[in-house]
Amino acid sequence: MRLFSQLSQRPIVQGLTAGVLITLIVLAIRAIGWFEPVDLKIYDWLLRSRASPEISDPRITYVEITEEDIQRQGRWPITDAVLAETLERIGQAGPRAIGLDIYRDIDVPPGRAELDRYLSVHPNVVVVM
80 burial type by CB count under 10 A (0-12 exposed, 13-18 middle, 19+ buried): buried
The number of angstroms, rounded, from the C-alpha of 101 to the middle of its chain's C-alpha atoms is: 12
Q: Sorting pLDDT into bands at 50, 70 and 90, what band is 116?
A: very high
Query: Taking a C-beta distance cutoff of 8 angstroms, is the pair 86, 59 a contact?
Result: no
Q: Which candidate, 66, 80, 93, 75, places its Cα nearest to that of 119? A: 80
For 10, 86, 87, 101, the CA distances from 79, given in Å and listed in that order, are 75, 11, 12, 15
pLDDT of the residue at 54: 63
pLDDT tens-digit readout, 60-115: 888 888 899 889 888 889 999 999 999 999 999 999 999 998 888 888 999 999 99
- Per DSSP, 78 falls in state P
Q: Where are the domains of the chain?
A: 2-55, 67-127
Query: Taking a C-beta distance cutoff of 8 angstroms, is the pair 35, 42 a contact?
Result: no
pLDDT of the residue at 59: 78
* CB-side neighbour CA atoms (13 Å) of 86: 16
Which residues, in sequence order, are CB contacts of 96 under 8 Å at separation 6+?
A: 124
